[in-house]
Every structure is written in C-alpha cells, then in structure tokens.
Structure 1
Amino acid sequence: MIYDTIIIGAGPGGLTAGIYAMRGKLNAICIEKENAGGRIAEAGIVENYPGFEEIRGFELAEKFKNHAEKFKLPIIYDEVIKIEIKEKPFKVITKNSTYETKTIVIATGTRPKKLGLNEDKFIGKGVSYCTMCDAFFYLNKEVIVIGRDTPAIMSAINLKDIAKKVTVITDKSELKAAEPIMLDKLKEAKNIEIIYNAKPLEIIGNEKAEGVKILVNEKEEIIKADGIFISLGHIPNTEFLKDSGIKLDKKGFIITDKNCKTNIEGIYAVGDVRGGVMQVAKAVGDGCVAMANIIKYLQSLK
C-alpha cells in the first residue's frame, strides 16, 4: 500500500496534521515512538493556549489525542529509524516494518539536553529531566534546578508550589524568559533562590543524589537537596534523518520555508523539530499549514 501521507510523531503538530489529513480524506497514518500527545504532557499548568484559560499539560495532550482519534487517525506505535527519499514513493522504515508514501510530515520534536557530568548514575534516584513527571515526589522537600533561561524558569515555577525550597543553579549571569510574565512569577516566589555564574561540577551522593558540587566565585561549594531537576533545554530528534538529504541547521533542527516545506518536494516538518519559538500553539499552526500544502501538492499530482 502507498499512503498519501505519513506523519512521524504524534505531538500537537503531528496530531493536528493528522486531523487535517483525515478531514481531507487522505490515506494517512501517524507513527509515534512513545505516547501520543507529545511533551506538552510534561508541562504543569498551561495558560497560553487559546481556548483554555488554564489546563494541565497532560489533559491538553489527551484532548489532542482524543480529537485525532475522533477522526479515526491510525496511530502506529513504533520507532522510525530511517527514511529513504531518493526514489518515489518515499519509504519510511521503522524497527518493525517499512511503509511507502507520497508525502511525509516530520513531527519528531525534541529531547532534553544532558548536563554531561555523572547524572546518568542518578536518573530515577534523585535526578530527573521531567519536572512535572517527578515533582510530587518532592512535596515539601528541597530541590535544585540546574539550567538556563526559559527551561530553568519554567521548572522552578512548576516546583515552587510543591517543594519547600527551590534553588536554581545557572552558569549565566542572568535568566532570560520567552515571556516576561514568567520572570514576574519567578521574582514573586518567596521560596526560590537563584545562584548565578555557577558551574556544576558533579552530582554528589551514594545510593541517591544528595546535592550538587558547583564552582562559583572561583570556590567550590556543595548545595544539598532532596531532588535535582536538569533543565537545559532540548535537542531535536533528527538522527534518523542522517544521510537522508533533508537539510538541517548546525544544531540539527530541520530547515523549512514559511510553509513548513523542507528542501525535498513532498516532505514537511512541523513543531519543535523546526527550532525557533517552541510553543504548542506554533506546533498546531505548523500542522495545519503543512497539511494544507500537502493536500494541494497531492492534488497537483493527479
């Protein structure tokens, strides 16, 4: 079978593309490696998505998934390891199968940047990359957020009403936010302390993480805590595009035009994997734009 389109990734952008594909009567599937809904499920309270004055991230993710299922978008849970685009139809190769398609939407999103120290030893043992996944393990306890700018600010804000104290450790001289209101919330919180110009040297602990050794003002210091959250931002999930011919920027994000089109005719990218502003509203808009252009492209082939 040759599909009209295959959507790789079931986050907000991918599911929006899928909804438009099903409404356009396309023969489409969506392939998702993990959970439908995307990283928005990891967010705390979402206040900037139109139509919802306030909604929890996992609830919004579930609504995206349910909406796509209402239009009977087939979601296949598998991992795409390669795409072949030298000949048409394109081939999307997963761990378990190979699919042929006329067009592709890449909506694979991003994953957390690692600190690059000894944190892997303590993952699940006091160290986490997902604030909202693990925040409630530290109810009324002291936690550390290691990070920069918007990611660190968001983590601290999400933790402030759960933890007894939040210490933000950053190697920057200031924290910058995507939205000024986030800085206002950070400043208003009485239980958040920020240590600037601090270089993390090592996660300390035996069976579990107990704190972080840092270098600040040319002196080593140990900051104790019950839990540590690493919030350094994200890197794109584009390794499977190696040698595909799809152009990436120096950070690995997919380069597209204003219509979300890549340098390959018939292949589009949406959401965080494009880089730039990373917001759920943008991903949804991308999904709409990409699929509208795919529908036009498919019509031109007839």
Structure 2
Amino acid sequence: LGKRLELLAIDDQCSDGVAVSTAQMLTILKQKNIKLVVGPYCANSFDKIADIYAKGQLFQIIPTTVNYTQAKTIKKGLVKMLGYTNQQAKDFFDYYNSNMAGSQVAVIYNSEDAESSEEAKAISEEFRKHGKSVVLTSYTYEATNKDYKKLAAQVLADGNAAAFVLGYPKNIRKMAYALKDRSNDAAVFVNKYTAGSEFFEYMDGLIEGVYFMALRGKEDDPEFAETLVKLRLNGFDADGLSLYGYSAVNLWKSLVNAAKSFDYNKVSNQAAKGVKTEFGSQMFHNGAPSTSESYAIYRYENGNMNKVY
C-alpha cells in the first residue's frame, strides 16, 4: 500500500519471561503503531503469548514449525506459516529407513521439557506406524540425573548405532559431546536450530560426522530464486531461518495488499481466504497451512555442511 516499514528486532533469548514481557510491551507501544509480529522462534509460553497478541490485535506469524500443543492454539490473526514439527519425525524416519534400516536407534530427550517430549513422542509414533518400534529405544536425561557420560555409555552399550538428541540447547550439546567422545562412529542427529549457536564451539573436534536437521532452505525453490538473487545483490546473505523471517514479512505484505488494508480484522479474514504471494498461493485453515514444510538433513564433514537428504 506504499507505506514504508520499520523493523524492530528484539532478542527474547528463548526465555518464557522475556517473551511474555516483550509481547506485553509491544501491545502497548502505541507510538510505534505495530501491525505485525514475526515470532517467537522458540516455544516460549506459546498460548499465553498468542493470547496477548490476539487481544492487542497484533497480527502474528510464526516463521518456523510448531509442535502438537501449539497446533491446538487457534487465534484470530495467528498464522503458523510452516506447519508442524511432526514433519521432522517423518523426514528423520525416511532417512533412517533409506540409509540405516535395521540399525538400533535411540531418541534422547528432556522429560521436563514439553517440546522435546512431544518431539520424542512423534519420532516414536513414526517408527511404530511403520512397524519399526523394535529398533527404537527412548531415553531421558532424568533417568541418570543428567549424568551425560553415564547415559552415553548406556545408549551405546544397548547397541544403538544412531541417536536423535533432543532437549534444551545445553542438554543437546552435552549429550552429543558425550556420545561422540565415547564413540566417534556414533551417528548423532540434532535439530540445527534447537542445538543453538554455541553447539559448534562446544563440540570442537568432535563435530565431524554430526547430522543436522533443518527446514529446507529456499535456495532450491525456483519460485524463490529471483528474490534470493536480489537479496544477495543487496548484501543480505539470506539462509536458514532468516529466509523464513523474510518470507513471513512478504506473506503479510501480500495479505495486506489483498485486503487493501492494514486493519487487523481484514488481514486476518484474508488469511483464511488465501492469498497469492511471490512464492506461490497460500491458504491457512485455523492459521495453519495445508502442508507442513519439510526438513533437510546435513552431515558436517571437513568443515562443510553437506546435504544428505
């Protein structure tokens, strides 16, 4: 609509308290006339935050996948742009079935963390659906009182050739390190985003051969190619979640243009009707897309992230 946008970046540190206080602040920051919130990227009291933004009539787009509990949250003006995290379980199983079929697999998670517990449950369900429950064993950090070395020894002694490590960033890096330190041949899988920025430094020389699951980059999407070139020509090296953040803003722009208004209610109604964006047509039922974004798998080798799936 010819209006210039101002970007306000806020780091909520994946903290529930900071995320909630940020939502409360943004709804009363009248002088900024905020129309769109992209995020949060972490679970961060999802229901409570979505409720705050809905009551404050701030349109909210989640630029990453959401878990089962978050999927049940339906608010006007809330769009879960990429679908659900259970897609990660499906893609992990597909890779396992094609490349490691028959091998024993461990899924290690934090039973005190609802998000990793749900992810572990989704993986277990995926193996069960395909009649492969016998090869999958679940472990919790609490079973060994967060003694990562002891748990690593148990996981490997049980004959597991691969392990999907879930939990908080601290859990993931300590568990991955303990596994690789005990057996460099162990196939360790982590979610790139959940593992956090400190993962690479913490793993040091043991990072070789670690598998990273991440949302598929739009680099291979022909509908995104022209946009990607423009971004790079302007000095923006877009990759990973930053591309999905950019896509979220463009989705909102398309909704605003289609609704011919910045009005919260009109834009929300337009999301339900569907909209044509520069990346294809999109429609959201109860704030969710018709299909979930799939995951890619990368293996760290000789300083490079090589796509293997």
TM over 0.5: no
Higher strand share: 1
Q: Select the structure that is richer in helix.
A: 2
TM-score, length of structure 2 as denominator length = 0.28
